Amino acid sequence: QLRAPSNSVPTELAFDSHFSESFHVLSSLIFFCTEQAVILEKLGICSEFAVWKFLVNGIFPPGPCDLSIKETLFDTVPVRIYRSKTLSPEKRRGLVWIHGGGGIFGGFGKFSKYRWSLESATVVVAIGYPLAPEHPYPAQQCSCYMAVSHFLKHAMDFGVDPQRIILGGDSTGGSIVAAISQQLVLRQDLPQVRAHVLVYPFLQALDFNLPSYQQNQWVPLLFKTEIIHFGQFYLTGNSSGADAVMFNAHVPEKLRIKYQKWISAEHIPEEFKAQGYVPFIPGHFSEALFKECTRIFEATFSPLLTEDTILRQFPETFLLTCEYDILRDEGLLYKKRLEDNGVSVTWHHLEDGFHGISSLIGFGPLEFPGTRRSLKSKLLYWWIVLTIINFLLGCR
Protein backbone atom coordinates (compact mmCIF):
# COMPACT_ATOMS: atom_id res chain seq x y z
CA GLN A 1 0.00 0.00 0.00
CA LEU A 2 1.37 3.41 -0.98
CA ARG A 3 1.86 6.03 1.70
CA ALA A 4 2.60 9.73 1.49
CA PRO A 5 6.26 10.69 1.85
CA SER A 6 7.00 13.00 4.74
CA ASN A 7 7.53 15.98 2.46
CA SER A 8 4.35 15.49 0.45
CA VAL A 9 2.07 17.80 2.44
CA PRO A 10 0.76 20.42 -0.02
CA THR A 11 2.61 23.72 0.18
CA GLU A 12 1.13 25.78 -2.66
CA LEU A 13 -2.56 25.89 -1.84
CA ALA A 14 -4.16 29.29 -2.29
CA PHE A 15 -5.19 29.86 1.33
CA ASP A 16 -4.47 32.82 3.56
CA SER A 17 -1.63 32.36 6.07
CA HIS A 18 -3.82 31.38 9.04
CA PHE A 19 -5.88 28.98 6.98
CA SER A 20 -2.76 27.46 5.39
CA GLU A 21 -1.08 26.94 8.78
CA SER A 22 -4.14 25.13 10.13
CA PHE A 23 -4.34 23.10 6.95
CA HIS A 24 -0.77 21.87 7.33
CA VAL A 25 -1.41 20.92 10.95
CA LEU A 26 -4.40 18.89 9.82
CA SER A 27 -2.35 17.23 7.06
CA SER A 28 0.37 16.21 9.49
CA LEU A 29 -2.18 14.90 11.98
CA ILE A 30 -3.85 12.71 9.35
CA PHE A 31 -0.51 11.31 8.15
CA PHE A 32 0.37 10.52 11.76
CA CYS A 33 -2.95 8.77 12.41
CA THR A 34 -2.59 6.79 9.20
CA GLU A 35 0.83 5.46 10.16
CA GLN A 36 -0.26 4.68 13.72
CA ALA A 37 -3.28 2.76 12.44
CA VAL A 38 -0.99 0.60 10.27
CA ILE A 39 1.36 -0.03 13.20
CA LEU A 40 -1.49 -1.06 15.51
CA GLU A 41 -2.71 -3.52 12.88
CA LYS A 42 0.76 -5.03 12.40
CA LEU A 43 1.08 -5.45 16.16
CA GLY A 44 -2.23 -7.31 16.22
CA ILE A 45 -3.84 -4.83 18.60
CA CYS A 46 -6.66 -3.79 16.27
CA SER A 47 -7.32 -3.42 12.57
CA GLU A 48 -6.48 -0.26 10.67
CA PHE A 49 -10.16 0.12 9.82
CA ALA A 50 -11.14 -0.06 13.50
CA VAL A 51 -8.88 2.93 14.21
CA TRP A 52 -10.36 4.92 11.35
CA LYS A 53 -13.92 4.03 12.35
CA PHE A 54 -13.18 5.37 15.81
CA LEU A 55 -11.76 8.61 14.41
CA VAL A 56 -14.35 9.17 11.68
CA ASN A 57 -17.35 8.40 13.88
CA GLY A 58 -16.14 11.04 16.29
CA ILE A 59 -14.41 10.93 19.62
CA PHE A 60 -16.47 13.69 21.17
CA PRO A 61 -20.24 13.61 21.69
CA PRO A 62 -22.41 16.26 19.99
CA GLY A 63 -23.49 19.29 21.93
CA PRO A 64 -26.98 20.10 23.20
CA CYS A 65 -29.78 19.98 20.67
CA ASP A 66 -33.07 21.86 20.58
CA LEU A 67 -34.65 19.50 18.07
CA SER A 68 -37.03 16.63 18.62
CA ILE A 69 -35.04 13.45 17.91
CA LYS A 70 -36.51 9.99 17.49
CA GLU A 71 -34.82 6.73 16.54
CA THR A 72 -36.87 4.06 14.83
CA LEU A 73 -36.79 1.53 11.99
CA PHE A 74 -37.86 2.03 8.40
CA ASP A 75 -38.43 -1.46 7.04
CA THR A 76 -35.71 -2.94 9.37
CA VAL A 77 -33.26 -0.09 8.64
CA PRO A 78 -32.27 2.16 11.60
CA VAL A 79 -33.09 5.84 11.11
CA ARG A 80 -32.96 8.95 13.24
CA ILE A 81 -35.62 11.62 12.70
CA TYR A 82 -34.88 15.29 13.46
CA ARG A 83 -37.61 17.90 13.51
CA SER A 84 -38.45 21.18 15.16
CA LYS A 85 -40.28 20.99 18.48
CA THR A 86 -42.57 23.75 17.21
CA LEU A 87 -45.79 22.32 15.82
CA SER A 88 -46.75 23.26 12.28
CA PRO A 89 -50.33 23.34 10.92
CA GLU A 90 -48.98 22.48 7.46
CA LYS A 91 -47.06 19.49 6.18
CA ARG A 92 -43.31 20.10 6.26
CA ARG A 93 -40.60 19.49 3.72
CA GLY A 94 -38.63 16.24 4.12
CA LEU A 95 -34.89 15.68 3.72
CA VAL A 96 -33.41 12.17 3.81
CA TRP A 97 -29.68 12.44 4.56
CA ILE A 98 -27.25 9.62 3.72
CA HIS A 99 -23.86 10.00 5.36
CA GLY A 100 -20.48 9.48 3.72
CA GLY A 101 -17.54 7.37 4.85
CA GLY A 102 -16.82 5.08 1.91
CA GLY A 103 -19.43 2.54 2.99
CA ILE A 104 -17.05 1.60 5.81
CA PHE A 105 -17.16 4.51 8.25
CA GLY A 106 -19.66 6.99 9.63
CA GLY A 107 -23.05 6.95 11.27
CA PHE A 108 -25.99 9.19 12.02
CA GLY A 109 -23.58 12.10 12.28
CA LYS A 110 -23.50 15.17 14.42
CA PHE A 111 -26.24 17.60 15.31
CA SER A 112 -24.76 20.50 13.32
CA LYS A 113 -25.88 19.06 9.98
CA TYR A 114 -29.44 18.65 11.16
CA ARG A 115 -30.06 22.19 12.30
CA TRP A 116 -31.45 22.38 8.76
CA SER A 117 -34.60 21.13 10.50
CA LEU A 118 -34.86 24.42 12.36
CA GLU A 119 -33.67 26.81 9.68
CA SER A 120 -35.73 25.48 6.78
CA ALA A 121 -38.82 23.94 8.45
CA THR A 122 -37.66 20.54 7.27
CA VAL A 123 -38.01 17.09 8.83
CA VAL A 124 -34.60 15.40 8.46
CA VAL A 125 -34.27 11.62 8.34
CA ALA A 126 -30.72 10.28 8.78
CA ILE A 127 -30.18 6.67 7.70
CA GLY A 128 -27.95 4.37 9.72
CA TYR A 129 -27.17 1.93 6.95
CA PRO A 130 -24.96 -1.16 7.57
CA LEU A 131 -21.23 -0.85 6.96
CA ALA A 132 -18.57 -2.98 5.29
CA PRO A 133 -16.73 -5.25 5.78
CA GLU A 134 -19.39 -6.90 7.93
CA HIS A 135 -21.97 -5.93 5.31
CA PRO A 136 -20.29 -5.81 1.87
CA TYR A 137 -21.49 -3.80 -1.11
CA PRO A 138 -24.30 -3.41 -2.15
CA ALA A 139 -25.86 -3.78 1.32
CA GLN A 140 -25.55 0.00 1.79
CA GLN A 141 -27.52 0.82 -1.35
CA CYS A 142 -30.14 -1.84 -0.65
CA SER A 143 -30.73 -0.60 2.91
CA CYS A 144 -30.99 3.04 1.87
CA TYR A 145 -33.37 2.13 -0.94
CA MET A 146 -35.63 0.31 1.52
CA ALA A 147 -35.55 3.18 4.04
CA VAL A 148 -36.24 5.87 1.44
CA SER A 149 -39.06 3.85 -0.12
CA HIS A 150 -40.62 3.44 3.33
CA PHE A 151 -40.41 7.17 4.03
CA LEU A 152 -41.88 8.10 0.65
CA LYS A 153 -44.78 5.75 1.31
CA HIS A 154 -45.44 6.88 4.90
CA ALA A 155 -44.33 10.53 4.82
CA MET A 156 -47.73 11.82 5.97
CA ASP A 157 -47.33 9.90 9.23
CA PHE A 158 -44.37 12.14 10.06
CA GLY A 159 -46.02 15.41 9.10
CA VAL A 160 -44.18 15.55 5.78
CA ASP A 161 -45.59 16.46 2.38
CA PRO A 162 -44.71 13.42 0.18
CA GLN A 163 -44.38 15.74 -2.84
CA ARG A 164 -41.59 17.72 -1.14
CA ILE A 165 -39.09 15.06 -0.13
CA ILE A 166 -35.44 15.67 -0.98
CA LEU A 167 -32.60 13.12 -0.96
CA GLY A 168 -29.16 14.31 0.11
CA GLY A 169 -25.75 12.96 0.99
CA ASP A 170 -22.07 13.80 1.27
CA SER A 171 -19.23 11.86 -0.40
CA THR A 172 -20.30 8.19 -0.58
CA GLY A 173 -23.70 9.27 0.68
CA GLY A 174 -24.11 11.35 -2.46
CA SER A 175 -23.13 8.30 -4.49
CA ILE A 176 -25.83 6.24 -2.78
CA VAL A 177 -28.42 8.95 -3.51
CA ALA A 178 -27.57 8.75 -7.21
CA ALA A 179 -27.51 4.95 -7.09
CA ILE A 180 -30.89 4.31 -5.47
CA SER A 181 -32.53 7.01 -7.56
CA GLN A 182 -31.97 4.85 -10.63
CA GLN A 183 -34.60 2.51 -9.20
CA LEU A 184 -36.80 5.12 -7.53
CA VAL A 185 -37.55 6.98 -10.78
CA LEU A 186 -39.05 3.75 -12.13
CA ARG A 187 -41.46 3.29 -9.21
CA GLN A 188 -45.00 4.20 -10.21
CA ASP A 189 -46.39 3.39 -6.76
CA LEU A 190 -44.34 6.02 -4.89
CA PRO A 191 -44.20 9.82 -4.95
CA GLN A 192 -41.27 11.10 -6.99
CA VAL A 193 -38.39 12.73 -5.10
CA ARG A 194 -38.48 16.54 -5.33
CA ALA A 195 -34.71 17.18 -5.54
CA HIS A 196 -31.20 15.90 -4.80
CA VAL A 197 -28.54 17.53 -2.62
CA LEU A 198 -25.05 16.17 -3.36
CA VAL A 199 -22.06 17.40 -1.35
CA TYR A 200 -18.68 16.47 -2.93
CA PRO A 201 -20.05 13.07 -4.09
CA PHE A 202 -18.05 9.98 -5.12
CA LEU A 203 -19.32 9.04 -8.60
CA GLN A 204 -16.90 6.73 -10.41
CA ALA A 205 -14.06 4.25 -9.96
CA LEU A 206 -12.78 3.95 -13.53
CA ASP A 207 -10.29 6.82 -13.74
CA PHE A 208 -8.14 7.71 -10.75
CA ASN A 209 -6.02 10.10 -12.81
CA LEU A 210 -8.42 12.87 -13.67
CA PRO A 211 -6.92 16.35 -13.12
CA SER A 212 -8.29 16.65 -9.57
CA TYR A 213 -6.78 13.29 -8.63
CA GLN A 214 -3.38 14.45 -9.82
CA GLN A 215 -3.58 17.92 -8.31
CA ASN A 216 -5.01 16.93 -4.91
CA GLN A 217 -3.66 13.43 -4.31
CA TRP A 218 -2.15 14.37 -0.94
CA VAL A 219 -4.77 16.88 0.20
CA PRO A 220 -6.73 15.84 3.32
CA LEU A 221 -9.17 14.64 4.28
CA LEU A 222 -9.17 12.22 1.35
CA PHE A 223 -5.92 11.01 -0.21
CA LYS A 224 -5.76 9.20 -3.53
CA THR A 225 -4.06 6.19 -1.94
CA GLU A 226 -6.71 5.94 0.74
CA ILE A 227 -9.76 6.19 -1.51
CA ILE A 228 -8.38 3.30 -3.56
CA HIS A 229 -7.34 1.31 -0.48
CA PHE A 230 -10.68 1.78 1.28
CA GLY A 231 -12.69 1.52 -1.93
CA GLN A 232 -11.27 -1.89 -2.79
CA PHE A 233 -11.84 -3.05 0.77
CA TYR A 234 -15.45 -1.87 0.56
CA LEU A 235 -15.97 -3.64 -2.76
CA THR A 236 -13.98 -6.88 -2.38
CA GLY A 237 -13.07 -7.23 1.29
CA ASN A 238 -9.36 -6.75 0.62
CA SER A 239 -7.09 -4.08 -0.82
CA SER A 240 -4.76 -6.20 -2.94
CA GLY A 241 -3.75 -4.62 -6.24
CA ALA A 242 -4.25 -1.06 -5.00
CA ASP A 243 -0.99 0.09 -6.59
CA ALA A 244 -2.10 -1.10 -10.04
CA VAL A 245 -5.55 0.46 -9.65
CA MET A 246 -3.83 3.81 -9.10
CA PHE A 247 -2.69 3.57 -12.73
CA ASN A 248 -6.13 2.49 -14.04
CA ALA A 249 -4.81 -1.02 -14.76
CA HIS A 250 -8.18 -2.49 -13.79
CA VAL A 251 -9.99 -1.01 -16.82
CA PRO A 252 -9.74 -2.78 -20.19
CA GLU A 253 -9.20 -0.59 -23.24
CA LYS A 254 -12.59 -1.54 -24.68
CA LEU A 255 -14.47 -0.22 -21.64
CA ARG A 256 -12.21 2.80 -21.30
CA ILE A 257 -13.07 3.81 -24.86
CA LYS A 258 -16.77 3.03 -24.31
CA TYR A 259 -17.07 5.31 -21.28
CA GLN A 260 -14.81 8.14 -22.47
CA LYS A 261 -17.99 9.91 -23.56
CA TRP A 262 -18.82 10.33 -19.88
CA ILE A 263 -15.55 9.98 -17.94
CA SER A 264 -12.59 11.79 -19.44
CA ALA A 265 -10.38 14.78 -18.70
CA GLU A 266 -11.48 16.12 -22.09
CA HIS A 267 -14.84 17.03 -20.55
CA ILE A 268 -13.28 19.01 -17.67
CA PRO A 269 -13.24 22.80 -18.20
CA GLU A 270 -9.76 24.09 -19.03
CA GLU A 271 -9.54 26.33 -15.96
CA PHE A 272 -9.44 23.21 -13.78
CA LYS A 273 -6.48 21.79 -15.73
CA ALA A 274 -4.25 24.85 -15.69
CA GLN A 275 -1.87 23.60 -12.98
CA GLY A 276 -0.56 20.22 -11.87
CA TYR A 277 -2.17 18.13 -14.61
CA VAL A 278 -0.40 15.94 -17.16
CA PRO A 279 -2.36 13.84 -19.70
CA PHE A 280 -2.28 10.30 -18.37
CA ILE A 281 -1.29 7.06 -20.09
CA PRO A 282 -2.90 4.01 -18.37
CA GLY A 283 -0.73 1.26 -16.91
CA HIS A 284 -0.57 -2.29 -18.24
CA PHE A 285 -4.02 -3.89 -18.09
CA SER A 286 -4.51 -6.65 -15.49
CA GLU A 287 -7.17 -9.23 -16.35
CA ALA A 288 -7.12 -10.60 -12.79
CA LEU A 289 -7.64 -7.14 -11.32
CA PHE A 290 -10.47 -6.46 -13.77
CA LYS A 291 -12.29 -9.62 -12.68
CA GLU A 292 -11.83 -8.71 -9.03
CA CYS A 293 -13.14 -5.16 -9.57
CA THR A 294 -15.80 -5.91 -12.17
CA ARG A 295 -18.63 -4.49 -10.04
CA ILE A 296 -17.24 -0.96 -10.32
CA PHE A 297 -18.80 -0.92 -13.78
CA GLU A 298 -22.26 -1.14 -12.24
CA ALA A 299 -24.07 2.18 -12.31
CA THR A 300 -25.02 1.70 -8.66
CA PHE A 301 -21.31 1.76 -7.75
CA SER A 302 -20.25 4.35 -10.35
CA PRO A 303 -23.32 6.57 -10.93
CA LEU A 304 -21.55 8.44 -13.74
CA LEU A 305 -22.31 5.34 -15.81
CA THR A 306 -26.08 5.80 -15.45
CA GLU A 307 -27.78 5.59 -18.82
CA ASP A 308 -29.28 8.75 -20.31
CA THR A 309 -32.79 7.28 -20.31
CA ILE A 310 -32.62 7.03 -16.51
CA LEU A 311 -30.63 10.16 -15.82
CA ARG A 312 -33.03 12.46 -17.64
CA GLN A 313 -35.73 11.42 -15.15
CA PHE A 314 -33.67 12.68 -12.19
CA PRO A 315 -34.98 15.68 -10.25
CA GLU A 316 -33.50 19.13 -9.82
CA THR A 317 -30.07 18.81 -8.19
CA PHE A 318 -27.93 20.89 -5.83
CA LEU A 319 -24.24 20.05 -6.30
CA LEU A 320 -21.35 21.24 -4.12
CA THR A 321 -17.74 20.73 -5.24
CA CYS A 322 -14.46 21.80 -3.63
CA GLU A 323 -11.32 22.95 -5.43
CA TYR A 324 -8.92 20.95 -3.24
CA ASP A 325 -10.76 17.64 -3.46
CA ILE A 326 -9.78 14.61 -5.52
CA LEU A 327 -13.50 14.09 -6.25
CA ARG A 328 -13.92 17.59 -7.70
CA ASP A 329 -13.83 16.47 -11.34
CA GLU A 330 -16.36 13.71 -10.78
CA GLY A 331 -18.77 16.40 -9.65
CA LEU A 332 -17.98 18.48 -12.72
CA LEU A 333 -18.55 15.50 -15.02
CA TYR A 334 -21.83 14.68 -13.26
CA LYS A 335 -22.96 18.28 -13.61
CA LYS A 336 -22.33 18.06 -17.35
CA ARG A 337 -24.20 14.76 -17.65
CA LEU A 338 -27.22 16.09 -15.78
CA GLU A 339 -27.35 19.29 -17.80
CA ASP A 340 -26.89 17.38 -21.07
CA ASN A 341 -30.00 15.41 -20.09
CA GLY A 342 -32.07 18.47 -19.28
CA VAL A 343 -31.82 18.24 -15.47
CA SER A 344 -31.63 21.59 -13.67
CA VAL A 345 -28.43 21.90 -11.61
CA THR A 346 -27.66 24.44 -8.88
CA TRP A 347 -23.87 24.26 -8.65
CA HIS A 348 -21.69 25.82 -5.96
CA HIS A 349 -17.92 25.50 -6.04
CA LEU A 350 -15.80 26.28 -2.96
CA GLU A 351 -12.53 27.68 -4.24
CA ASP A 352 -10.89 27.20 -0.84
CA GLY A 353 -12.72 24.01 0.15
CA PHE A 354 -11.48 20.45 0.54
CA HIS A 355 -13.14 17.06 0.90
CA GLY A 356 -14.93 16.51 4.19
CA ILE A 357 -14.64 20.13 5.27
CA SER A 358 -18.14 20.26 6.80
CA SER A 359 -17.65 17.04 8.77
CA LEU A 360 -15.04 18.67 11.01
CA ILE A 361 -17.59 20.93 12.66
CA GLY A 362 -18.17 19.89 16.26
CA PHE A 363 -15.16 17.55 16.32
CA GLY A 364 -13.87 18.95 19.60
CA PRO A 365 -10.12 19.77 19.70
CA LEU A 366 -9.73 18.28 16.21
CA GLU A 367 -12.07 20.85 14.69
CA PHE A 368 -10.35 22.71 11.88
CA PRO A 369 -10.55 26.49 12.32
CA GLY A 370 -10.78 26.99 8.56
CA THR A 371 -14.08 25.15 8.39
CA ARG A 372 -15.72 28.23 9.86
CA ARG A 373 -14.24 30.59 7.25
CA SER A 374 -16.41 31.79 4.37
CA LEU A 375 -15.59 33.60 1.16
CA LYS A 376 -17.53 36.63 2.46
CA SER A 377 -18.64 36.13 6.03
CA LYS A 378 -15.61 34.19 7.36
CA LEU A 379 -18.00 31.39 8.25
CA LEU A 380 -17.51 28.79 5.52
CA TYR A 381 -19.47 26.07 7.24
CA TRP A 382 -22.51 28.24 7.76
CA TRP A 383 -22.19 29.46 4.21
CA ILE A 384 -22.56 25.83 3.10
CA VAL A 385 -25.51 25.27 5.42
CA LEU A 386 -27.30 28.48 4.43
CA THR A 387 -26.72 27.79 0.74
CA ILE A 388 -28.31 24.39 1.09
CA ILE A 389 -31.12 25.84 3.19
CA ASN A 390 -31.85 28.38 0.48
CA PHE A 391 -32.02 25.54 -2.03
CA LEU A 392 -34.38 23.62 0.24
CA LEU A 393 -36.60 26.64 0.67
CA GLY A 394 -36.84 26.90 -3.09
CA CYS A 395 -38.13 23.32 -3.35
CA ARG A 396 -41.80 24.06 -2.88
Active site residues: 171, 325, 355
3-state secondary structure of 347: strand
Q: Which positions ≥6 away from 253 have C-beta within 8 Å?
A: 285
- d(CA 310, CA 313) in angstroms, rounded, equals 6
- d(CA 48, CA 51) in angstroms, rounded, equals 5
Cβ-contact 262, 255 below 8 angstroms: no
Scored b (16 or more CB within 10 A) or e, 278-309 reads eebeebebbeebbebbeebbebbbbbbbbeee
Burial degree of 72 (CB within 10 A; 0-12, 13-18, 19+): exposed
Q: What angle do helix axes 48-57 and 17-42 make, rounded to 10 degrees?
A: 140
CA dihedral angle for residue 59, residue 60, residue 61, residue 63, rounded to 10 degrees: -150
Q: What angle do helix axes 139-154 and 172-184 make, rounded to 10 degrees?
A: 60
Q: Tell me, what amino acid is at 154?
A: H
CA dihedral angle for residue 156, residue 162, residue 163, residue 165, rounded to 10 degrees: 130
- Strands 67-74 and 77-84, bridge-based pairing: antiparallel
